[in-house]
Amino acid sequence: MGTVRTAVRVEGVVQGVGFRPFVYGLATGLGLTGLVGNDLDGVFVEVEGPEPAVSEFLLRLERDAPPLARIERVTARAIVPRREASFHIAASDHAGPRRTLVSADTATCADCLRELADLANRRSGYPFINCTNCGPRFTIVRDVPYDRPLTTMAEFAMCEQCAAEYHDPADRRFHAQPTCCPACGPRLTLHGHDRDHHDEGPAKADPLHAAAELLRQGKILAVKGLGGYHLAADAACEDAVAALRARKHREDKPFAVMAADLAAARRLAEVDDTAAALLASQARPIVLLPRHAHAQVATATAPGNRQLGIMLPYTPLHHLLLANLARPMVLTSGNVSDEPIVYRDDEARDRLATIADAFLVHDRAIHVRTDDSVARTFRGRPMLIRRSRGYVPEPITTTNGFPRPVLACGAELKNTFCLARGHHAFVSHHIGDLENAETLRSFTGGIEHFRRLFDIDPQVVAHDLHPEYLSTKYALELADNGHVDLQGVQHHHAHIASCLADNGYDAPSPVIGVAFDGTGYGTDGTIWGGEFLIADLVQFERGGHLALVPMPGGAAAIREPWRMAAAYLGETARDLDVATRHQERWAAVVAMARKGVNSPLTSSAGRLFDAAAAILGVRDTINYEGQAAVELEQLADPGEAGEYPAAVAAGQGPFQARGADLLYAVMEDRTRGVPAPVIAARFHRGVAALIEKGCLLLRDHHGLGTVALSGGVFQNSLLLHAAVTRLEARGFTVLLHSRVPCNDGGISLGQAVIAAARDRG
């Protein structure tokens, strides 16, 4: 039988995921000779031997690939046999353009957990255990190719035993870049504000045990994690969680809880199969779940919220800390109010000193600040609300691709950016609200990092139309300084395009896009946010929108929802409790709105929800974006079947959906003493009915049967459920977000695919 030699190239997420040892094991098992190596394109292989064995190799290469590998393409071609004696691993090739993919950080695998608990193992109880199938990746990568010297593990020289495992093709730590052990790897220390305080005695002997003891005493710990510092407290301890809230200056926004395992999570909240799979997935996001009424969680964890954000441990450090504590802990980002999460040791000591009683830290640097991801489930599918640690930087693959490299700069709030090339859109980790110097640095530094990691030199730069967004200004500066083409993309068009890309929708026909959010720059000088668009990836037409209403005081109307109630209802509401609560200013604000003094016009769905929340006494002022709407959803009685009617006024141009009708109905029921949970539910269902009406009108005119729902308002699952049910009952195909957020975190992807579609011409 003849000997053949085949050169194979494997592209996708194939570095840092145990691919070379897998290939080595497979080839040697089949008696083949040749080589395997990493280069800037991914993995290259040459195998030589009898033809049937080589065929078998190619078959199993894809079928049996390691769990973390994402193979996107395998190409093979015959080459001349070389007759070498064995199979070996070739050195990495760093030259040339980079096309390889860096994998996301991955939760500790079952094999490592077994070793962690095995007293006979040399890594027993070692908080930094990892292997080719798990551990830190994106957060420690400084550059590509993904090799130890280019990660923050470069400072740790491997001991003899680790080096032997690292170089042994049969070992599961073969070429696992963060391989380490207690003898050679990062170390854990516990210290007080004064660094030497805990350096003696029990804390030095067993920092984890001492840290758990502090938590049990009601103390607050700063814990250095994977993508940044967290603040931890015993989740059941009222005083500790209340103190954490007070010291962090975070008034109402819920804290997440980390539970040891699924059983512990189930004691706190309802966990269905989809949620269980999501909780236990390699990405380990925070999952928003319906909490049990009797859940043993301090009141201050998620005040006034029927949901609880729960995550499972994703690093060995978390596993060990929870095992020592033996109950759930609050684990929230280490920052003061709205600042970005702290990730450098010096800034942690500075900025967390007034919050944390002690610091549980280690000496492995975090290269990229990466927040925990947040998800919920909807009808058996995950819905990401914040896509960050565990997901980033894995690309969203698009069918039509990007003719030229694109940078999309995203929106202002919940910013992400997106760099795209070929068929890959690399949506960044959560950057945050671009309103301070620190976040702006994360934004610009992040873009530089992604450009290097993925070797993308953008020729097209997409941006929001809002001239005051810092992301827009950044795009304009790039255009001033270099040869890039700018693409301005309307905010709500980007939302709909993002939803289309999320669904892999590539039909040429346009869809009905319903984009409901708080704020977006319109093309007519008004603030949009309750939009019905006829959209494809190139352009859109405004088919309809919520009727315009003044925002008395501009930004003040966003912070103080009662102003929106005044703007919508005016003097007719003078006897309502919301008006009497603001008696001294009600008439003035109503007059301001009517005369249009400092009262920009908006079609925002967010402001409509704000007004309803204020009328029902849910909230007159807010402490975080979208708070009034979130609490209104929490208040609503999910069993209520009634709804308020609202008219859609069609005429020349876009139709006007009369949101005010809903608020008059809310006012009437409020006056009649109908319970607030019933009113809140009828309002939600009324908004869903309004969406249905708008879509039916557009289907009649344009003959379109697909609806894409996007915008932050659709994080509201009560509304989403009601809207989807009605639309599907009418025969619409409904597209929803899953992999990227429906909120402004998804805007950059939408901008990128629109820029590419326009580029294709």
Nearest CA to 140 out of 204, 53, 227 is that of 227
In the complex, minimum distance from the CB of residue 496 to Zn ion, in angstroms, rounded to a whole number: 11
In the complex, minimum distance from the CB of residue 741 to Zn ion, in angstroms, rounded to a whole number: 10
In the complex, minimum distance from the CB of residue 221 to Zn ion, in angstroms, rounded to a whole number: 25
Tell me how far CA of residue 501 lies from CA of 244, 389, 395, in angstroms.
40, 21, 12
In the complex, minimum distance from the CB of residue 161 to Zn ion, in angstroms, rounded to a whole number: 6
In the complex, minimum distance from the CB of residue 580 to Zn ion, in angstroms, rounded to a whole number: 34
Residue (261 or 506) nearer to Zn ion, CB = 261
Residue (315 or 388) nearer to Zn ion, CB = 315
The answer to the question of residue 181 lying near Zn ion (CB under 5 A) is yes
In the complex, minimum distance from the CB of residue 176 to Zn ion, in angstroms, rounded to a whole number: 8
Element (H, E) at 174: none
Residue (70 or 702) nearer to Zn ion, CB = 70
Residues constituting the chain? 761
Q: In the set 59, 117, 164, 183, which binds Zn ion (CB under 5 A)?
A: 183
**Geometric angle at alpha carbon 216, from 212 and 217, rounded to 5°:** 120
Residue (517 or 633) nearer to Zn ion, CB = 517
Task: Give strand ranges (E) for 536-672.
Answer: 540-546, 549-550, 601-602, 648-649, 655-657
Element (H, E) at 518: strand 511-521
In the complex, minimum distance from the CB of residue 320 to Zn ion, in angstroms, rounded to a whole number: 15
Residue (157 or 326) nearer to Zn ion, CB = 157
Residue (579 or 630) nearer to Zn ion, CB = 630
| Adjacent-strand bridge partners of 231 | 222, 332
In the complex, minimum distance from the CB of residue 255 to Zn ion, in angstroms, rounded to a whole number: 25
Element (H, E) at 327: none
Residue (49 or 178) nearer to Zn ion, CB = 178
565, amino acid identity: A
The answer to the question of residue 357 lying near Zn ion (CB under 5 A) is no
The answer to the question of residue 494 lying near Zn ion (CB under 5 A) is no
Q: In the set 30, 74, 162, 203, which binds Zn ion (CB under 5 A)?
A: 162
DSSP state of 106: B
What DSSP line would sit under 340-353, residue for residue?
PPP-SHHHHHHHST
Q: For strand 286-290 and strand 374-378, is the pairing parallel, antiparallel, or unpaired?
A: parallel
Instruction: Tell me the backbone φ, ψ of residue 9, rounded to 5 degrees.
Output: -120, 130
Binding mask 95-134 for Zn ion (x = CB under 5 A): --------------x--x------------------x-xx
In the complex, minimum distance from the CB of residue 109 to Zn ion, in angstroms, rounded to a whole number: 3
Site stretch for Zn ion (CB under 5 A), options 14-22, 173-181, 399-407, 426-434: 173-181
Residues between 506 and 545 with contacts to Zn ion, criterion CB under 5 A: 517
**Geometric angle at alpha carbon 683, from 682 and 684, rounded to 5°:** 90
Beta-carbon-side half-sphere exposure of residue 685 (alpha carbons within 13 Å): 17
Nearest CA to 745 out of 416, 286, 470 is that of 416
Site stretch for Zn ion (CB under 5 A), options 55-63, 180-188, 360-368, 749-757: 180-188
| Adjacent-strand bridge partners of 734 | 707
Residue (34 or 178) nearer to Zn ion, CB = 178
Binding mask 739-758 for Zn ion (x = CB under 5 A): -----x--------------
Nearest CA to 317 out of 366, 254, 247 is that of 366
195: left (phi over 0), alpha (psi -120 to 50) or beta: alpha
Binding mask 273-312 for Zn ion (x = CB under 5 A): ----------------------------------------
Binding mask 29-68 for Zn ion (x = CB under 5 A): ----------------------------------------
Residue (159 or 486) nearer to Zn ion, CB = 159
In the complex, minimum distance from the CB of residue 317 to Zn ion, in angstroms, rounded to a whole number: 14
Residues between 184 and 223 with contacts to Zn ion, criterion CB under 5 A: 184
Nearest CA to 532 out of 653, 616, 665, 443 is that of 653
In the complex, minimum distance from the CB of residue 111 to Zn ion, in angstroms, rounded to a whole number: 5
The string over 99-128, giving b where at least 16 C-beta atoms fall within 10 Å of a residue's C-beta and e elsewhere, is bbbbbbbbbbbeebbebbeeeeeebebbbb
Residue (154 or 159) nearer to Zn ion, CB = 159
Residue (134 or 419) nearer to Zn ion, CB = 134
Torsion of CA 237, 242, 243, 246, to 10 degrees: 170
**Alpha-carbon span 462 to 472, nearest angstrom:** 9
| Adjacent-strand bridge partners of 333 | 230
Residue (134 or 325) nearer to Zn ion, CB = 134
In the complex, minimum distance from the CB of residue 12 to Zn ion, in angstroms, rounded to a whole number: 20
Beta-carbon-side half-sphere exposure of residue 507 (alpha carbons within 13 Å): 9
Q: For strand 286-290 and strand 706-710, is the pairing parallel, antiparallel, or unpaired?
A: unpaired
Contact 393, 418 (CB under 8 A): no
Residue (159 or 465) nearer to Zn ion, CB = 159
In the complex, minimum distance from the CB of residue 21 to Zn ion, in angstroms, rounded to a whole number: 13
579, amino acid identity: A
Residue (57 or 174) nearer to Zn ion, CB = 174
Residue (241 or 374) nearer to Zn ion, CB = 374
| Number of shown-chain residues binding Zn ion (CB under 5 A) | 12
In the complex, minimum distance from the CB of residue 196 to Zn ion, in angstroms, rounded to a whole number: 27
**Alpha-carbon span 654 to 659, nearest angstrom:** 15
Residue (228 or 750) nearer to Zn ion, CB = 750
Residue 196 makes CB contacts below 8 A (sequence gap 6+) with none
**Alpha-carbon span 166 to 160, nearest angstrom:** 10
**Alpha-carbon span 339 to 355, nearest angstrom:** 14
515: left (phi over 0), alpha (psi -120 to 50) or beta: beta
Site stretch for Zn ion (CB under 5 A), options 176-184, 229-237, 329-337, 549-557: 176-184
- For the chain, give percent helix, strand, coil, nearest 5: 35, 25, 40
In the complex, minimum distance from the CB of residue 589 to Zn ion, in angstroms, rounded to a whole number: 26
Tokens of 693: 């009406």
End-to-end, the C-alpha distance of the chain in Å comes to 54
In the complex, minimum distance from the CB of residue 287 to Zn ion, in angstroms, rounded to a whole number: 22
Residue (133 or 706) nearer to Zn ion, CB = 133
Q: For strand 87-89 and strand 33-39, is the pairing parallel, antiparallel, or unpaired?
A: parallel
| Adjacent-strand bridge partners of 381 | 378
In the complex, minimum distance from the CB of residue 273 to Zn ion, in angstroms, rounded to a whole number: 25
In the complex, minimum distance from the CB of residue 495 to Zn ion, in angstroms, rounded to a whole number: 6
Residue (180 or 240) nearer to Zn ion, CB = 180
Nearest CA to 146 out of 287, 15, 2 is that of 15
The answer to the question of residue 159 lying near Zn ion (CB under 5 A) is yes
Residues forming contacts to Zn ion in the complex (CB under 5 A) are 109, 112, 131, 133-134, 159, 162, 181, 183-184, 517, 744
